[in-house]
Amino acid sequence: GKLEYADIVKVDPLTKKEKAYATVIGTEPVRQTSTTQTPHEVCQDVVVQERLPERDGNVGGTVAGAVIGGLLGNQVGGGNGKKAATAAGAVAGGLIGNQVDKRHVGGRVVNRTERQCHTETATSESTKVTGYNVTYRNEDGTTGTMRMASKPGNRIPMGTSNAVTGYNVTYRYDGVEKTVKMDNKPSSDRLPVIDGQLVTQTAALDSNKQ
């Protein structure tokens, strides 16, 4: 048949919405450090020293006081009166010595164990991952970075995009305009026509011959 051409008037792409994805090219964890202070009681056994009384308050001071009192009483009077004075001095000296001894501190030093406690505060730090800075590459080659709560896989969803599924091609032949759906965009501004019938399969081949 005779090969003729129809002039292309308009080409409209046919699109549909599809899920868009970006390729993950890097992830960096975001960490947060927190400080915790915990009070706790610490106890230990400590050896302390204390001084005992020099005498026991019952024997030592009494005996010493009686001896001194007796000597002083012996200096008074004579005969039976001297004996009475000596006895009275011994008794009085013993009482005085006993009271003085109770108030006197100057004995030996002894050790004893005493439990002592105090409060200390322990400080600890902990680190946890709160998210990820994700670097990605879109289908058109552009790159970007976004924060994500969890670590992604190899791809991340980026909403939707309009995918081209074909083309509505409007052409004019013999003064009449018609429209035909084509899978690919015409490579020239004409379409081949044989015996009045549009032949889209040969459009690309015919275009290469021009």
| Same-domain pairing of 128 and 195 | yes
Residues 98 and 133 in one domain: no
Classify residue 62 by burial, with Cβ atoms within 10 Å: 0-12, 13-18, 19+. Answer: buried
The mean pLDDT of 196-209, rounded to a whole number, is 57
- Total count of domains within the chain: 2
Does residue 149 share a domain with residue 98? Answer: no
Cα Rg of the chain (Å, integer)? 58
- Residue range of the domain that includes 59: 55-103
Higher pLDDT, 56 or 208: 56
Domain membership flag for residue 130: yes
Residue 176 lies in a domain: yes
User: Do 34 and 125 belong to one domain?
Assistant: yes
**What is the model's pLDDT at position 89?**
52
93 and 25 housed in the same domain: no
Is 109 part of any domain? no
Q: Tell me how far apart the alpha carbons of residues 130 and 150 are, in angstroms, rounded to a whole number.
A: 8
- What tokens were used for 17? 């919405």
Mean pLDDT across the stretch 139-146?
92
Range list of β-strands (E), the chain: 3-53, 105-137, 143-148, 155-173, 176-182, 190-194, 197-198
Same domain? For 83 and 26 the reply is no
- Residue 53's nearest CA partner among 106, 96, 97, 100 is 106
**138 and 69, same structural domain?**
no
Bigger pLDDT: 4 or 60?
4
Residue 195 lies in a domain: yes
Domain shared by 148 and 172, yes or no:
yes
Q: Which residues contact 29 (CB under 8 A, 6 or more apart)?
A: 129, 131, 132, 151
Residues 125 and 204 in one domain: yes
Predicted TM-score (pTM) above 0.75:
no
Confidence band of 53 (pLDDT split at 50, 70, 90):
confident
